[in-house]
Amino acid sequence: MATDWFEAIDAYCERTDATLWSEPLNALSNLAFIAAFIASVYCYRRYREEAGQHRWEFVLLLGLLCAIGIGSFLFHTFATRWALVADVGPITLFQFAYLGIFCWHMLAPRWWVVLAGWAAFVVTTLLLAIPFPADYANGSSSYFSGLLFIALLGGYSHHAQKEGAWLVLLATPLFMTALLFRSIDQQACDAFPPGTHFLWHLFNGGMLYCLFAGLVAGSGPGGLQTRLLSAGS
């Protein structure tokens, strides 16, 4: 049977009908991703000034970060299958791109290290799908492997005393909080009709900026973290 790409999807508490602005909070809260994108662009510009290097891989992450905000906005307005792909696609690509770039810059600049990191992520995702089905925790189980790997990357950055390690570490509690609000969206409907999914966006915006800024700081010369985060230097 052919997929109906225009089939309406009602997945969140705030949506009460199929109209475009049925999820105003969920839609507008995607500005958190755009804010994270703008802050990350500034961070990358400071990196280029301080390190004197242009990194296409960081530009790729910036593009995907912007696409996450746009895709999520499309899904929470149009709420169709094609919009779902626009939402999930950039998130998936960002996960693999970030992990690969982290492995290259923070572990070792070897393709086998990148491939091993990707393989470990895929295997972990498949294994976690066994005890946690796709609909578990309002569909949040698909992000459990991402949470685990963010914690691992933060732990490694701290252990290796990388510049900006605290930013990567901070991404873990931010993502945990985001996942909590994503998971309880339906349960919160009676007490709070708009639901809590918009808070998933807000905390995720902060988490994504922390991941990007931590990676950039850890990839540059010593002391770069302080200069990246100092607007007056």
Establish whether 201 is an annotated binding residue: yes
How far is C-alpha 96 from the geometric centre of its chain's CA atoms? Answer: 11
The one-character DSSP state at 23 is -
Establish whether 158 is an annotated binding residue: no
Q: For the chain, how are helix, strand and coil distributed in percent, rounded to 5?
A: 70, 0, 30
Q: Decide: 156 and 106 in contact? Cβ < 8 Å.
A: yes
Q: Which tokens sit at 74?
A: 């499309």
* Torsion (CA) 202, 140, 59, 154 in degrees, nearest 10: 90
Looking at the chain, the number of H-run helices and the number of E-run strands are 9, 0
The one-character DSSP state at 105 is I
Q: Decide: 168 and 118 in contact? Cβ < 8 Å.
A: no
Alpha-carbon gap, residue 219 to 216, rounded angstroms? 5
Alpha-carbon gap, residue 174 to 212, rounded angstroms? 14
Query: Which residues are annotated as part of the binding site for Zn(2+)?
Result: 76, 197, 201
Query: Which residues are annotated as part of the binding site for Ca(2+)?
Result: 23
Query: Which residues are annotated as part of the binding site?
Result: 23, 76, 197, 201
